[in-house]
C-alpha cells in the first residue's frame, strides 16, 4: 500500500489554490533518442565524477577551479569578451557595458558554489542571450567555497548589481539570471535589493535553483530522483553545504530562499526538469512566489538534466528553451 501524501513529491501535490498551482507548467516536449542516450551517459560518467570531486581535498577542488577557468568559450556569438573588474567585482563581460541604452544580462553562474563559470556552458549561453537581445552580459566571478563561505558569494553578487546601477543602467533594462547555485544566489540577491530599497530588475530567470540548504533529504524530489538525476550526486552535496555555509543558520532566507518573503520580487521565469533532484526546490519556490503576488511562470521540462539551458551543444531541445527565454525577456523589457 502506498504511503500517505507526505511521501509524494511536492511537484505532484495540489496543496495550494488553483491560481497558485497554475504557475507551474509541465512541458510536453518530445525528447530525442540522441538526448536520452546522452542523459544515460551523463548519469554513468558525470555524476560519479562530480561526487568524487566534491568529496576531494581542498587542493583537488582548487585544481578543478583552475582547470575550469582555463577553458575557452567556444562561441562569443559576435560579441567581444573581456575579463575585467566592474565596480569591485571581477568577471566576464560580453559586449559594451558602457552602453547603458541597451539591455544587460547579469548572470550568476552555477557550479555547486565551488567552481567558476564554465566557458563552454555559462559563457556561451550568456553570449547567445545577450547577442539575441542586442545587449551586453556580465558574469560576476564571485568568491568560491571552500576558501570563501557564505555570505561572501552573495555579497559579491549584490556589489555586481549595484555596480550596474552605478554605471547608469536603468533597472528596467537589467535582466538577472542564475543557474543551480547561481539561481540560489539570484533569489538571495532579490532579497538584498528589496532590503536596500533599490529598484528591481526587469525580470529574473532562476534555472534549477537550490532553494533549501538545511535539509539534504528535502524537498521530496531529492529522494525520489536521487538515482535518476544525470548530474547531481545528492548525498555528496551535503559536503557542499558544509563547505559553503559552515555553521550559518540554514533557516536564514538568504541561505535557504525557499523560506523567503517574495513580496516585491520582479517577474520570474523559473526552469527545471522532472529528472533532477532539485525539481521540487524550483516548484515550491515558484508556488511561494506566486502566492506572494509575484508574476511567475515555472516550466518543468521532461527527461533533460539539471540546468539544461546551458547545454546547447549536447541537446537540440535547448534551442527551444533558449528562444523562449529570449522571448520572455523581450516581453518583460517592453512591459518595464
Residues annotated as catalytic are: 180, 276, 306
Reduced to 3 states (helix: H, G, I; strand: E, B; else coil), residue 284 is helix
- Integer-rounded Cα radius of gyration of the chain: 18
| Cβ pair 230, 46 in contact under 8 A | yes
Reduced to 3 states (helix: H, G, I; strand: E, B; else coil), residue 325 is helix
Reduced to 3 states (helix: H, G, I; strand: E, B; else coil), residue 288 is helix
The number of angstroms, rounded, from the C-alpha of 298 to the middle of its chain's C-alpha atoms is 13
Q: How far apart are CA 117 and CA 125, in angstroms?
A: 11
Residues 6+ apart with CB under 8 A from 295: 266, 267, 268
Q: How far apart are CA 14 and CA 300, in angstroms?
A: 16
Continuous H helices in 5-102: 18-21, 33-55, 58-70
Pairing of strands 24-26, 89-94: unpaired
Amino acid at each position: 500500500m502506498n504511503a500517505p501524501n507526505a511521501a509524494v513529491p511536492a511537484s505532484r501535490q495540489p496543496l495550494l489554490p488553483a491560481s497558485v498551482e497554475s504557475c507551474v507548467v509541465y512541458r510536453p516536449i518530445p525528447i530525442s533518442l540522441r538526448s536520452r542516450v546522452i542523459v544515460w551517459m551523463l548519469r554513468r560518467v558525470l555524476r560519479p565524477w562530480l561526487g568524487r570531486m566534491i568529496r576531494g581535498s581542498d587542493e583537488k577542488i582548487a585544481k578543478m577551479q583552475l582547470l575550469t577557468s582555463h577553458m575557452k568559450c567556444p562561441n562569443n556569438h559576435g560579441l567581444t569578451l573581456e575579463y575585467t573588474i566592474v565596480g569591485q567585482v571581477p568577471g566576464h563581460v560580453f559586449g559594451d557595458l558602457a552602453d547603458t541604452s541597451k539591455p544587460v544580462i547579469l548572470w550568476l553562474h552555477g557550479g555547486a558554489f565551488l567552481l567558476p563559470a564554465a566557458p563552454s556552458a555559462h559563457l556561451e549561453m550568456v553570449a547567445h542571450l545577450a547577442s539575441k537581445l542586442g545587449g551586453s552580459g556580465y558574469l560576476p566571478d564571485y568568491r568560491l567555497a571552500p576558501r570563501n563561505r557564505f555570505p561572501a558569494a552573495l555579497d559579491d553578487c549584490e556589489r555586481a548589481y549595484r555596480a550596474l546601477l552605478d554605471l547608469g543602467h536603468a533597472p528596467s533594462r537589467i535582466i538577472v539570471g542564475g543557474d543551480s547555485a547561481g539561481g540560489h544566489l539570484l533569489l538571495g540577491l532579490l532579497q538584498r535589493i528589496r532590503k536596500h530599497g533599490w529598484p528591481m530588475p526587469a525580470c529574473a530567470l532562476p534555472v534549477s535553483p537550490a532553494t533549501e540548504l538545511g535539509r539534504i533529504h528535502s524537498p521530496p524530489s531529492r529522494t525520489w530522483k536521487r538515482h535518476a538525476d544525470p548530474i547531481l550526486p545528492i548525498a555528496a552535496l551535503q559536503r557542499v553545504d558544509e563547505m559553503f555555509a559552515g555553521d550559518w543558520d540554514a533557516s536564514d532566507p538568504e541561505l535557504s530562499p525557499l523560506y523567503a518573503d517574495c513580496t516585491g520580487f520582479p517577474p520570474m521565469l523559473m526552469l527545471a526538469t522532472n529528472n533532477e533532484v532539485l525539481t521540487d526546490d524550483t516548484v515550491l519556490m515558484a508556488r511561494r512566489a506566486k502566492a506572494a503576488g509575484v508574476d511567475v511562470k515555472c516550466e518543468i521540462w521532461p527527461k533533460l538534466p539539471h540546468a539544461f539551458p546551458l547545454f546547447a551543444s549536447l541537446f537540440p531541445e535547448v534551442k527551444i528553451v533558449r528562444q523562449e527565454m529570449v522571448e520572455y525577456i523581450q516581453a518583460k523589457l517592453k512591459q518595464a
